[in-house]
Amino acid sequence: MKDGATRDGYGAALQDFGDNPKVVVLDAGVSDSTRSKKFGDKFPDRFFNMGISEGDMVCTAAGLATAGKVAFATSFACFLLGRTMDQILVSVAYSNTNVKLVGTHTGIAVGPDGPTAQMIVDLAYTRAMPNLTVIQPADYEEAYQATKTLINHNGPVYFRLGRSKVKGLYDSSYKFEIGKGSVLREGSDAVIIATGVMVQESLAAAELLKAENIDVSVVNISTIKPLDNELVANQARKTGAVITAEDHNVFGGLGDAVLDSLANQDIMVPFRKVGVEDTFAETGSQDQLFEKYGLSASHIAATVKEVLAKKTASQASI
């Protein structure tokens, strides 16, 4: 298992598997930070630094995809989505082009970059677009595996990556599959369904709860759309209580996806979301912001106990 940021796994995979002549990579002037520079250094003829021109980058990527290329368009998520919604909607999603939109530096985990760089609405944007698959890996290895998979996947994708270094969860035997989540810890009292950096926070919360004899499952949902409905249903029915955790606004992201899944499968269990509570955060370190805005392991653990209290009350009323 390798520790590292998910953006690092992305850059390494592009470098290792970029010998496919159909692969082209575009970046909007931040290639060192997004790690797409690793591809550019090795395959300069198929790397395009578009500068601070994200709309042009997305449309150029769509054009290259129409010509048979596998196009990765990369930038900080706040720029990639914040400046190009029309181009993405029309030239990528509506046109169903083979473009991989890679947004790095997501969530309030980018802390010191400030609130205008803390992209907390991108999952809501992209989940709502027809034809668009939405993926967020949880560690370096999963990002590496997912990038390799996306090279061979036909269709538009939003690939959400983080800036911060995270603890490795998977080794090289892991096989990423679009549309499938994975159970990292089995429990009986409740399930925490998490994505991205919040998977590590959820595992830490599970350890805190274990000290109080509370046994929780932790599920990594790396494909937010299409969601692994079967896994969600199995864990909800087994534990009878569901908590979601994401570094994103509580509206429009993983929490709403899971809630929709439960409703569509007629599963009624106590449920709570952990995420940014519809506010803009301040500037600070990731740890400071996670603690202040309720995303830390201790806050997740407290939310689990709140849901378990509802579960107990519900059972008592039967």
Chain segment 282-292, per-residue pLDDT in tens: 999 999 999 99
Does one domain contain both 155 and 22? yes
pLDDT at 217: 98
Chain segment 59-86, per-residue pLDDT in tens: 999 999 999 999 999 999 999 999 999 9
Residue 209 domain-assigned? yes
Does one domain contain both 125 and 203? no
Does one domain contain both 78 and 25? yes
Does one domain contain both 86 and 15? yes
Chain segment 159-205, per-residue pLDDT in tens: 999 999 999 999 999 999 999 999 999 999 999 999 999 999 999 99
pLDDT class of 317 with cuts at 50, 70, 90: low
pLDDT class of 315 with cuts at 50, 70, 90: low
Q: How many residues does the chain have?
A: 318
pLDDT at 314: 66
Q: Work out the mean pLDDT of the chain and round it to a whole number.
A: 96
Chain segment 95-141, per-residue pLDDT in tens: 999 999 999 999 999 989 889 999 999 999 999 999 999 999 999 99
**pLDDT at 313 > cutoff 90:** no
Q: Which of 160, 194, 219 is the last residue of a domain?
A: 160
Question: For the residues 16-20, what does the mean pLDDT come to?
Answer: 95
Task: Quote the domain boundaries for residue 293.
Answer: 182-316
Count Cβ neighbours within 10 Å for each residue of 136-165 and write b for 16 or more, e otherwise: bbbbbbbbbbbbbbbbebebbbbbbbbbbe
Assess whether 54 carries a catalytic annotation. yes
Question: For the residues 29-53, what does the mean pLDDT come to?
Answer: 96
Task: Give the whole-number percent of the chain exceeding pLDDT 90.
Answer: 96
Residue 176 domain-assigned? no
Does one domain contain both 255 and 213? yes
C-alpha–C-alpha distance, residues 32 and 263, integer Å: 43
Q: In the chain, how many domains are there?
A: 2
Does one domain contain both 18 and 122? yes
Type and span of the H or E element at 274: strand 271-276
Does one domain contain both 59 and 99? yes
Provide the pairing of β-strand 23-27 with 47-49: parallel
Amino acid found at 176: F
Q: Which of 95, 127, 160 is the last residue of a domain?
A: 160
C-alpha–C-alpha distance, residues 254 and 33, integer Å: 26
Does one domain contain both 187 and 84? no
Does one domain contain both 201 and 278? yes
Residue 24 domain-assigned? yes
Does one domain contain both 210 and 253? yes
Does one domain contain both 139 and 254? no
Annotated catalytic residue, options 54, 141, 142, 201: 54
Q: Which of 160, 192, 215 is the last residue of a domain?
A: 160
Does one domain contain both 194 and 295? yes
Domain of residue 111, CATH code: 3.40.50.970
